[in-house]
Amino acid sequence: MPEKIAFITGGNRGLGFQTAMELKGAARVVIGARDLAQGEAAVKKLRAAGVEADVLQFDVTEAASHEAAYEYFNAKYGRLDILVNNAGIAGGKFPGEGPEHRAADVPMAVLRKVFETNFFAVVALTEKLLPLVRKSPAGRIVNLSSILGSLGLHADPRSPIYHAKSFAYDASKTALNAFTVHLAYELRDTAIKVNSAHPGWVKTDMGGPEAPMELSEGAKTSAALATLGADGPTGAYLHLGQVLPW
């Protein structure tokens, strides 16, 4: 099988960068970075660590970036084997730190901003690149979700996230999970697998320094789903191999 080609959005730092590290030896990784200089610096570190890596200046919210990504992978490789939809935003403060995520009074501007990045942009990019993923012998699409997207856990007073309500962020990840389920269904008769990944509460700019998980552990779920074998799941919601309730 020819070398696998992977595209990781928001891959110049945090979980995206660590996912690229985890794919060492499994794929040639192209990281998408809004700031090209930061992306080039990240690629330098990846190459020094033995990862075959390149960078593409990319903004997930810009349609022109989606078109440029399609042209890049189509011209250079003629296909895309792995798409990791990693780029995302919190859109503000988390519960207890600000009112902007309360369902009762969330500003529409915040809700739209979070959904634009975490949901609409992911759907648009995936649709744009899907023809190239179809050309892969075993395409893999990984949507970076969160346990905070679980309606089942949010509705259960006994769950660990029952009081962790951040409406705009949570709802965007719930919608992303719906996209995973629907796209996996539509591709059920192909070799492509589509899954949602919960990385865990990780020490990133978004997760904060109090998070219990290190980056190296947080990226393992995305990397595992990006390299699933033919017998792996599709249309699933997973964290370190464990199934989460929708």
Q: Which CATH superfamily is domain 5-243 in?
A: NAD(P)-binding Rossmann-like Domain (3.40.50.720)
State both tokens at 67: 């078109």
Tokens at 24, concatenated: 């060492």
H-assigned helices in the chain: 14-22, 36-48, 63-76, 108-115, 121-133, 151-154, 167-186, 215-218, 220-226
- Check residue 242 and give its pLDDT: 92
pLDDT score, position 161:
87
Other residues' Cβ atoms within 10 Å of the Cβ of residue 189: 7
- Residue 146's closest CA among 187, 201, 206? 201
Cβ atoms of residues 125 and 60 within 8 Å: yes
Residue ranges for the chain with pLDDT beneath 70: 1-2, 92-100, 201-216
pLDDT at residue number 159: 92
Domain ranges of the chain: 5-243
Q: What are the backbone angles phi and psi of residue 141, rounded to the nearest 5°?
A: -120, 125
Which positions ≥6 away from 175 have C-beta within 8 Å? 115, 118, 119
pTM: 0.92
- Angle at the Cα of 147 from the Cα atoms of 146 and 150, rounded to 5 degrees: 110
pLDDT of the residue at 211: 47
Classified as helix, coil or strand, 8 is strand
State the pLDDT at residue 92.
65
